[in-house]
Amino acid sequence: MCGIVACFSREDCYGKLLAALRRLEYRGYDSAGIALLSAAGLSVRKRAGGVGNLAGPPLPGETGIGHTRWATHGAPTDVNAHPHVCGKFAVVHNGIVENFAQLKAELIAKGETFRSETDSEVIAHLVARAYEGDFFAAVAAACGQLRGSYAVAVLCTDRPGEIVCARSGSPLVAGCAGGALYVCSDVPALGEDACFCAAQDGEFIRIEGGVIRFCGRDGREIPKTFTRASGGGCAEASAAGSFMEREIGEIPAALSRTLEGLRDFDFAPCARAMRGAKNIFAVACGSALHAALAFKDAAEEEAGAPVLCFSASEFRSRAPLAGRGDLVVAVSQSGETADTLGAVRLARSRGAYVLAVTNVAHSSLAGEADLAVFMRAGPEVAVAATKSYNCQLLCLYYIAAQLCYYRKDRFPSYFGELFRLPEAARAAFSAFSAAEEIARAFRDAPAMYFIGRGKEARTAAEGALKVKEIAYLFAEGLPAGELKHGPLALVEEGFPVVALSTSRALLAKMAGALAEVKARGARVALLSQYEEALADPAVDFPVRLPALCERLMPVLSVIPLQHLACRLCLLRGFDPDRPRNLAKSVTVE
């Protein structure tokens, strides 16, 4: 969730650190800081708020570290911002030190004084106490005392030009770009035309003598191959709008890239697992969980393959279910979602076969899985998922079709329609003007419902999540049939209800639900491709969707909801790209 950057550059190291931190802003954060090491010692600048608050005269030095913090332990203040300094050392940290309270108590008992409320500051004190002249050995000794997850970068005033970094459970990549050497949380921080290599858990990275080296805890070098980043840098937001608006507009092109990758993807390595799986599980978090539930629907109805779908955090916390002979489908845009990675590691330790869906080829999830399908959605900067969600759905519908092929010796009827999705997604943009009208009507509502039946219950949940994430308006997504089992109690005059009705067999059922809420004064918006549904007298705001086979309609019906959430956000005066309290890549539990 936090972003870390370490940089060695003989020219404008401070400027390069600042630029790298800006490229990591998409991860979500609430404070930022930089430390530079020069012959005069350490210089630190850190502030609550955005990276822009670090502007000012460049700090001197050719070696530095930077950080964007998402608060966990301690409020987002200047003091709690990273880097943390103790004696000769400055540290930035991404992750959570689970045993920090014990370590802090022990350090205080030994006479250490702490300035911040963070768990991360204990790392600086541990390194300082372990130091006996060997910089690397001190960092390794400190990391050996940590429980939890971490990616750290450390400076030492005795060692100008040197940076020691370590990874355990939090992502870390090393690379070179623009004449500088970097270690950072993610490839986009490197900028354009970068070469990079990702660290594995338990590995250390050293920048020394103008060279990047990977090594183990014993200091022995680990050979690595660097890869040129493909579009690694993040685009700049245009003057015409936010990243989120731009990324919604990129959905058709992203779907085309996803299809191109899927056409060439070889599913043969997982054929046996698909054909003979005793049990099939799907695990994910947030928007990816809604996509996983859509996969469950398709796999069960088209392939006759029952799927147990879990929030990854819940999958981890209950008695282990997956084991040898089972198939686990794990979904994560970033491939670094801590709970999803934990679920995958648990499943693999018990012998399950893991098929991953992720947008990042070098991610931890891709490395942990037996086989990984890459979405190819392109960089997504806005915290709230848009194009990545549509691409997840496409990948998962494609995987469900493969299940059908391997288990029933045929592809499902919707398979050919998958290749129409980019064109149909572009047609769905015609619903944006109606979505904007709904946003204006509902902007001051205290709460709203999103309802759907069958497969669109998943879309309803995703639409509600988008509104909560960026418009800060309470929204609940639920199956329409659940209204009378409690939620109907909140519906009163003017209460907003957004409904999805894309299944002809369920039109009458949805009409009944709309009549229920309308009788209690609700204002109703309905998204459908069917004229008879849109003509329902209970509907105040009809939103026409392009026609496509019903199975794939969730890929289209969510697009106007994404736009609705974005417009609500802007009308209510908020930034759709950086919602409060949230991060793009949730790398802590």
Active site residues: 2, 584
Place of tokens 């769905």: 428
**Strand pairing report for 163-168 and 173-177:** unpaired
Q: How far is CA 515 from CA 123, 208, 489, in A?
A: 60, 70, 15
Distance between CA 361 and CA 376 in Å, rounded?
A: 9
SS3 state at 455: coil
What's the distance, CA 125 to chain centroid? 31
Distance between CA 305 and CA 327 in Å, rounded?
A: 11
Q: Is the dihedral of CA 218, 219, 222, 223 positive or negative?
A: negative
SS3 state at 63: strand
Place of tokens 């998409």: 26
Element (H, E) at 195: strand 195-198
Burial status of residue 230 (CB atoms within 10 A of its CB: 0-12, 13-18, 19 or more): exposed
Q: How far is CA 405 from CA 65, 146, 279, 282, 475, in A?
A: 51, 47, 17, 19, 38
Answer for the pair 244, 386: CB distance below 8 angstroms, yes or no. Answer: yes
Answer for the pair 176, 194: CB distance below 8 angstroms, yes or no. Answer: yes
Lookup: tokens for 275: 């054909």
Q: Is the dihedral of CA 430, 434, 435, 440 positive or negative?
A: positive
Answer for the pair 392, 375: CB distance below 8 angstroms, yes or no. Answer: yes
Distance between CA 568 and CA 574 in Å, rounded?
A: 9
Which amino acid belongs to residue 582? L
Burial status of residue 308 (CB atoms within 10 A of its CB: 0-12, 13-18, 19 or more): middle
Distance between CA 203 and CA 217 in Å, rounded?
A: 7
Alpha-carbon dihedral angle through residues 322, 324, 326, 331, given to the nearest 10 degrees? 60
Listed in sequence order, the DSSP H helices in 329-447 are 338-349, 364-368, 387-408, 421-428, 432-442
Lookup: tokens for 201: 């858990």
162 φψ region: left (φ > 0), alpha (ψ -120 to 50), beta (else):
beta
